[in-house]
Chains A and B, each alone.
Chain A
């Protein structure tokens, strides 16, 4: 093919101006950040807007930090008995004594046994000003059972007392016991949930992915487990734990029991999610490319609903905490000397506590707060993790 003689080449039509591919859709930095943000970051932004969830999250975070240093936070040891202050009511903190600023202090108690009704009567004595000591040396303890120490953030005055939530029938400080109890009550939920999470993902995942006989069997098993009334089942399982087990092993036993019964709901969720996701094209693509089942489930499917799992697990923790409290309250869960909030409540389980020593019911408050906080927190997480919202 030849050109006519007088023909010239057409001018070059490609602009030689610098090329900017984003010229039409110019994103602001904010937009850029949004579109480039990872899944986690998106969740965090959404979560941040849910104020109750945020506050609950911070509250829970602080509580979980506190169990690392219970020994330091509690003014007394778990088992410190003060036999001259049995059933002492809470002491309140004052700042001013007769108009003068003293700093935080409590008034010491004068004890009298009322011979008429044998009530132990404690009257704050305005002459006994007992300033609190801070960053002080008090009851000796073994920090996490590792080394001996006596450092506390706050201690009673020398030869004074500091019972901000009163004492129980053996003269033990209720507040210190609640602080120590958090260690058990809060972790039991975490461990229990991890057990149920593992079981739920593995069994639910296999049922959903493979289907068939395994699916049928596991679903029937789940139905059986779910149809058993939970409290009698807990009781039966808790009764199996041998008495000679040390309390700490019993503690693990109870967490495992709670976890073993709680995985069913999670397994169902995982299964239904997998049933839906396994039909997706990217799964077929992975299969065609020869990925094995494990890789497909854990690399391609689970991340697809991991956020949902986290939210479910968060909401399951308070049910674990309540489960432990219920069991212990019934006297079948943990037992002294392990101290959880449920164990503390068992001790308040009589008419005397309600009528005469209401401060023994204090452990109810952290239970309610923690359960509420977990629910708000889980709620916020779920909202944040839901990509369709």
Chain B
């Protein structure tokens, strides 16, 4: 009997917290029998997130809601970024770890075997199995009707896609003939490569599985062209627009669009627990209010957000700081994780022959860079707290060297003018230089106008370049139009930020430094050419850019860390020498407003989309409200 009593006591100790500690939002439903208890909802082996209390983070209590502000419905995708549940995920030191996956095996970057967690369920309680991978592969990615325009570039190795196999109910395998080092990082991306989807739900919108009449009725109801559009619309997991679509993320959108206030509720079947066994996320709800982006700083300053980084700029810091005491929040300064906070991109593929010839001349690009007084810009706009330098990786990255940042980044208008004279650009009587075809150098810089800091930088650059005899004009257009005009070669120069991942290691793909993407502002046509394997765009016809492409191809097949490091160094050296984009300031600071009731938000961090996912790698599911 006594043994039994002890056993019972021990059992109670183990079972006690888990039973008593249902998350407040779910406790009622569990009590009413509408939802199984927590122990049954978790996978058999949940991912245990050990919250290291020595770093100042604490094991929290569950409940409460985080309020945050976003500017449009499209920003809801940030909740996928913040939530950051991925098959494999980066931790805050950028090491890859299995997250949704129980484990994986990687054989020479060619064979990837992924093992799922037994008992893992989608947010609607249906099991998450290999079938979800098969459905995505057979019926979405390679389905003829879905017509996806080929596989995603991260699924292509040397122009060929993988072989997909289902090993058993919880194991899938992707096999490439050539190494594909991009696969795992793509799964861990802020915008992940989707290789699985909620098949049980989505089959009702797929012609192969659904009843034809029902599907036609649904197509009619949603006013889309055909069932493939319906499938796409219903299945957008990244965008978080469809509240009925099951998810694996910590929070799920419960509000149908359009709305001005979206409520995200905890996923009852989430796969992570803290070290005490309590299911994460700590916070029950995330409430996203939609507001005009220009008044988000004002709203944040008046205490309408518990956690806000989006749409705040360095210029708002002082204002936000003033409201700290009154509204019980703290403003932290995170470092912008982009390679360059503001950079100018000469379009080497512009349709304008005169400008194209000039931009292809490295001396011209160098002169433009030398003519910018970065010190003044830093003082005037960033209180001297940013770093001045060329567009490369961030100071502090393991690949950074001083000479990369300082290449052609000193302010030397005499040298710049000498270079321009050497190219043969003569000044006319009003002091503006004239192109060989007789036009004056009126350089139009395209901007999205989203960022007032860019406009201020451009204003200062305008004055600097006037001394070089170059007249800078600014044109703003909406972001999508901006991108498509750049891609079509209709623009001469654009302003944007440097590479997204400013602090890569040699294990990260250098693709942002290589012509590889149609959206690259300095060589959109070359990017299109490479990303489409030569079916569209223009062939790379600049030796330095071609060298970059060759180096990238070497990196893709390189096996050891040392040779990758070497390739990276060479790539960065070429950029420093060629000035393909003109970096102005880097490592700028951005305010992050955190309510004093919200815990576990790091005091310092790197604010970047890729690979940090803003709060993503800082484990937002472990933030808690008191």
Q: Do A and B bind each other?
A: yes
Interface residues, chain A, CB within 8 Å of chain B? 79, 81, 83, 86, 113, 116-120, 169-171, 243-244, 331, 335-337, 349-352, 355-356
- Interchain CB contact under 8 A, B318 and A83: no
* Interface: B380 (CB within 8 A): yes
Contact with A along B311-328 (1 / 0, CB 8 A): 000011111011000000
- Interchain CB contact under 8 A, A170 and B379: no
Q: Which residues of A contact B295 (CB under 8 A)?
A: 351
- Distance between B481 CB and nearest chain A CB, rounded to angstroms: 12
Residue of A nearest to B317 (CB): A118
Looking at B395-403, B452-460, B613-621, the stretch in contact with chain A turns out to be B452-460
In the complex with contacts A171-B380, A352-B319, A355-B319, A244-B444 CB distance below 8 A: yes
- Distance between B603 CB and nearest chain A CB, rounded to angstroms: 15
Residue among A79, A118, A349, A356 with the highest chain B CB neighbour number at 10 A: A118
* Interface: B337 (CB within 8 A): no
| Docked CA distance A170–B460 (Å) | 8
| Docked CA distance A351–B315 (Å) | 10
- Interchain CB contact under 8 A, A117 and B317: yes
Residue among A113, A171, A335, A352 with the highest chain B CB neighbour number at 10 A: A352
* Interface: B463 (CB within 8 A): yes
Interface residues, chain B, CB within 8 Å of chain A? 294-295, 297-298, 301, 315-319, 321-322, 376, 379-381, 383-385, 442, 444, 449, 452, 456, 459-460, 462-463, 473-476
In the complex with contacts A119-B318, A244-B444, A352-B318, A113-B383 CB distance below 8 A: yes
Q: Which residues of B contact A355 (CB under 8 A)?
A: 301, 319, 322
- Interchain CB contact under 8 A, A356 and B380: no
- Interchain CB contact under 8 A, B380 and A169: yes
- Interchain CB contact under 8 A, A244 and B380: no
| Docked CA distance A73–B449 (Å) | 34
| Docked CA distance A166–B385 (Å) | 24
**Nearest 3 interchain pairs by C-beta:** A117-B321, A351-B298, A119-B318
Q: Which residues of B contact A350 (CB under 8 A)?
A: 294, 297, 315, 452
| Docked CA distance A349–B455 (Å) | 14
- Distance between B382 CB and nearest chain A CB, rounded to angstroms: 9
- Interchain CB contact under 8 A, A243 and B380: no
Q: Which residues of A contact B460 (CB under 8 A)?
A: 170
- Interchain CB contact under 8 A, A351 and B319: yes
- Interchain CB contact under 8 A, B322 and A83: no
| Docked CA distance A150–B476 (Å) | 36
| Docked CA distance A117–B385 (Å) | 13
Q: Which residues of A contact B315 (CB under 8 A)?
A: 169, 350, 352
Residue among B449, B459, B463 with the highest chain A CB neighbour number at 10 A: B459
Q: Which residues of A contact B321 (CB under 8 A)?
A: 116-119
- Interchain CB contact under 8 A, A83 and B379: yes
A-B contact pairs, 19 of them (CB 8 A): A79-B463, A81-B463, A83-B379, A86-B380, A117-B318, A117-B321, A119-B318, A169-B315, A169-B380, A170-B459, A243-B475, A244-B442, A331-B476, A350-B294, A350-B297, A350-B315, A350-B452, A352-B318, A356-B318
| Docked CA distance A170–B322 (Å) | 22
Select which of B322, B383, B444 is within 8 A of A243 by beta carbon. B444
Residue of B nearest to A170 (CB): B380
Q: Which residues of B contact A171 (CB under 8 A)?
A: 380
- Distance between A108 CB and nearest chain B CB, rounded to angstroms: 20
- Interchain CB contact under 8 A, B379 and A351: no
Select which of A170, A331, A337, A352 is within 8 A of B316 by beta carbon. A352
| Docked CA distance A355–B383 (Å) | 19
- Distance between B598 CB and nearest chain A CB, rounded to angstroms: 21
Q: Which residues of B contact A356 (CB under 8 A)?
A: 318-319, 322
| Docked CA distance A113–B385 (Å) | 11
- Distance between A312 CB and nearest chain B CB, rounded to angstroms: 37
- Distance between A343 CB and nearest chain B CB, rounded to angstroms: 12
| Docked CA distance A116–B462 (Å) | 32
Residue of B nearest to A354 (CB): B298
Q: Which residues of A contact B476 (CB under 8 A)?
A: 331
Q: Which residues of B contact A244 (CB under 8 A)?
A: 442, 444, 473
| Docked CA distance A169–B462 (Å) | 16
Residue among A81, A349, A351 with the highest chain B CB neighbour number at 10 A: A351
- Distance between A140 CB and nearest chain B CB, rounded to angstroms: 15
Residue of A nearest to B476 (CB): A331
- Distance between A169 CB and nearest chain B CB, rounded to angstroms: 7
Q: Which residues of B contact A83 (CB under 8 A)?
A: 376, 379-380
| Docked CA distance A171–B318 (Å) | 17
Residue of A nearest to B384 (CB): A113
- Interchain CB contact under 8 A, B459 and A336: yes
Residue among A171, A337, A350, A356 with the highest chain B CB neighbour number at 10 A: A350
